[in-house]
Amino acid sequence: MRPLLKLSSITKSFGGVHALKGVSLDVQGGEVHALVGENGAGKSTLIKIVTGAHQPDSGTIEYDGMSVQNNSPSLSRALGIAAIYQQPALFPDLTVAENIALRLESGGPWRMIGWNRRRKNAEELLARVGADISPDQHVRGLTMPQQQLVEIAAAVGAESQLLILDEPTASLSDREVDNLFRVIGELRKQGVGMIYISHRLEELPKVADRVTVLRDGSAVATKKMSEVDRPELIRLMVGRSLEAVFPKTTVPIGEVVLEARGVGHGTIVNDIHLSVKSGEILGLAGLVGAGRTELSRVLFGLTPADRGQIFVRGEEVTIHSPGRAIELGIACVPEDRRRHGVILDMSVAANTTLAILDKIAVLGMVDRSRERRIAQDFVARMATKTPSVQTPVGNLSGGNQQKVALSRWLATEPKVLILDEPTQGVDVGAKSEIHKLMSELAGRGLAIIMISSELPEILGMSDRIAVMHGGRIVGELDRAVATQEKVLEMALGHTGSAAA
């Protein structure tokens, strides 16, 4: 059978950096072909070559049996190639129907717009992808998964035959993931070929037919999804075993550093009893909507507790603001690093010292020399890959952005570190480095609360696991007895047999 897309011996260099080294890949119509690899492995460069944003230095591209010369974004769209990225590229102040129309309609400036036809077309396309969204709604009011469905609807309307999905499930709940997989299944039946990029290796068997692994710009393997398991994929991607991804070490557990007794906020966080000790990693598990992030906001003073007691090293305290939390030695790395964890347009140095400006300012002016020294120290400690500390954080990979976000809060010299989804959207290699850092910090006596939706991460890195359901902590499990089944049972609210 002739492949829909065929890439042969694609190479690409930027200056002296070889981003792609003779990569070959093909996608059949009606096939989901997963593309995996660490950040920097070449996935983004390869996709940009397919979509015409970059030209290869050598190699050939064939689409539906035809040679593609001088590819460009407009040519790739005309061929029927569409890319849907982790951050949807929609216009927030236009309606859903208008955003879809921008992808599908053409004509001169004096063309009459058929508003009713435009709305009906959008309605039909949204229905085809199972999106219960009004065509008249402004995109600004849509959730991330709803925006993704709008982009998929536009791609369907454009009769795209090759769809590129870049980290499509990074911010989705389990129910939203199931709906996306249903849509992918429908597109597969229609003969649409898909390149599926994801760091969530556990979901690939549910959706992919084949998988190609990139490492250091080379395609090291292409296999049927049924013939490879997660440990083998990790070994191919990073040259390390699964155990290396969760480098948990046993360290002495000290006294209680932070304790909550009956803490609550509004109707979202209720009657929280929780403690974390020096040297301990406390995993906070639960389904989406269980209240984990909301609890972290309470403990950090973003939404102060309106009932209950909080103790730091045995002394009752009131945490009415993040500033007060920092004074007490509490730091919090938020879930959405691009919105709340780092400022993308600012340099690595400026981001690193943002929470300690009062300590590096002289007469109200930031000591830039000291700022650089502190940033350089954290770049070395965290093994952050950046050309310099003056590089804008937006230029770094997701894993390195997360390291900068961590550096900012470690610079405050905290006693308690709250990590909300610390490895979300980063590759396996970066996960391993962040997990290793967590173990090192615990070894130095830091108390860590780790919120994670990934059960392997919860089980692999926690000394103790607290499980939330409906805004409450419904039980705890010691590392020695915790299993995925027990954690999930408690997260679903079935607490009868889950005691540790």
Can you give the pLDDT at residue 204?
Answer: 93
Mean pLDDT of 266-273: 92
Can you give the pLDDT at residue 337?
Answer: 65
Rounded Cα distance between 197 and 47, Å, is: 10
Can you give the pLDDT at residue 6?
Answer: 96
């509490």: which residue's tokens? 330
Can you give the pLDDT at residue 263?
Answer: 96
Rounded Cα distance between 363 and 370, Å, is: 14
For residue 182, the tally of other CB atoms under 10 A from its CB is: 12
Mean pLDDT of 185-204: 90
Can you give the pLDDT at residue 312?
Answer: 96
Cα angle at 332 between 92 and 456, to 5 degrees? 85
Query: Which band of pLDDT confidence, cut at 50, 70 and 90, is reported for residue 359?
Result: confident
CATH class of 242-329+414-500: alpha beta
Q: What is the pLDDT of residues 394-436, one digit of tens each?
A: 888 777 888 898 899 899 899 999 999 888 767 677 788 888 8
pLDDT at 239 over 70: no
Can you give the pLDDT at residue 457?
Answer: 87
For residue 185, the tally of other CB atoms under 10 A from its CB is: 11
Q: What is the pLDDT of residues 138-188, one digit of tens each?
A: 999 888 778 888 988 888 888 889 999 988 887 677 777 888 898 899 889
The two three-digit tokens of residue 350, written as one number: 């400026």
The two three-digit tokens of residue 439, written as one number: 């173990």
Can you give the pLDDT at residue 498?
Answer: 42
Q: What is the pLDDT of residues 424-433, one digit of tens each?
A: 767 677 788 8
pLDDT at 313 over 80: yes
Can you give the pLDDT at residue 243?
Answer: 59
Residue 64's Cβ-count burial label (10 Å; 0-12, 13-18, 19+) is: middle
So where are the chain's domains?
5-241, 242-329+414-500, 342-411
The two three-digit tokens of residue 338, written as one number: 């691009």
Virtual torsion, Cα 261, 475, 250, 293, nearest 10 deg: -70
Mean pLDDT of 289-305: 92
**Could you tell me the sign of the dihedral formed by the alpha carbons of 40, 42, 45, 50, in that order?**
negative
27 near 194, Cβ under 8 Å?
A: yes
Can you give the pLDDT at residue 497?
Answer: 41
Can you give the pLDDT at residue 158?
Answer: 82
Can you give the pLDDT at residue 22?
Answer: 95
Side chain identity at residue 311, one-letter code: F
Residues facing 34 on adjacent strands: 196, 211
The two three-digit tokens of residue 239, written as one number: 């040259």
3-state secondary structure of 494: coil
Give percent of the chain above pLDDT 70. Answer: 93
Can you give the pLDDT at residue 244?
Answer: 62
pLDDT at 193 over 80: yes
pLDDT at 116 over 50: yes
Can you give the pLDDT at residue 269?
Answer: 94
Domain 5-241 CATH (choose: 1.20.58.1030, 3.40.50.300, 1.10.3720.10, 3.40.190.10) = 3.40.50.300
Can you give the pLDDT at residue 132?
Answer: 84
Side chain identity at residue 151, one-letter code: E
Give percent of the chain above pLDDT 90. Answer: 50
pTM, 2 dp? 0.60
The two three-digit tokens of residue 453, written as one number: 């939706």
On the question of a common fold for 5-241 and 242-329+414-500, the answer reads yes
Query: Which band of pLDDT confidence, cut at 50, 70 and 90, is reported for residue 27?
Result: very high
Query: Which band of pLDDT confidence, cut at 50, 70 and 90, is reported for residue 495?
Result: low
Can you give the pLDDT at residue 465?
Answer: 96
Can you give the pLDDT at residue 500?
Answer: 42
Q: What is the pLDDT of residues 46-85, one digit of tens each?
A: 999 999 999 999 999 999 999 999 999 999 988 999 888 8
Query: Which band of pLDDT confidence, cut at 50, 70 and 90, is reported for residue 276?
Result: very high
One DSSP character per residue, 113-140 reads P-HHHHHHHHHHHHHHTT----TTSBGG
